[in-house]
Amino acid sequence: MAKKVQSSSVETLVAVIVYGLQEKKGIDIVSIDLRKIPNAFTDFFVICHGGSARQVDALADSAEDEVRKALQEKPAFREGNDESEWVLLDYINVVVHIFSGDKRDFYQLEELWGDGTISKHETQ
């Protein structure tokens, strides 16, 4: 089970997750630093979307695999696998949202959490 980690470790976790998403060509990868937002339930969101249900699953698997290899961590929860329109990986300090394009447009998490510091990550 994932546990609360130190600040520098949180940035490392975000970097490894982003790398895993880049490896499978995640679209519009962003991280949102929520640490300065009062009562935020996590330190970071990492958000991206895939072009198909198969890619959404592959993105989630890749992020999870890279974290397991690099940091020996597993998510506390993985949800949303059935329809592959929104997969959530909960690492306690970092919550990963991998959407289909339509669901990302609908939920607009970047707008909802826009008070956080948003960083864009290019797909390699």
pLDDT in tens, 6-16: 556 999 999 99
Q: Give start and end residues of each alpha helix (H) in the chain.
A: 7-23, 53-71, 101-107, 109-112
CA-nearest of 53, 25, 34 to 110 is 34
Question: Is the CATH number of domain 7-110 3.90.580.10?
Answer: no
d(CA 15, CA 46): 10
Where along the chain do its domains lie?
7-110
d(CA 62, CA 107): 23
pLDDT in tens, 18-49: 999 999 999 999 999 999 999 999 999 999 99
d(CA 4, CA 120): 24
Per-residue confidence (pLDDT) for residue 15, from 0 to 100: 97
pLDDT in tens, 41-76: 999 999 999 999 999 999 999 999 999 999 999 999
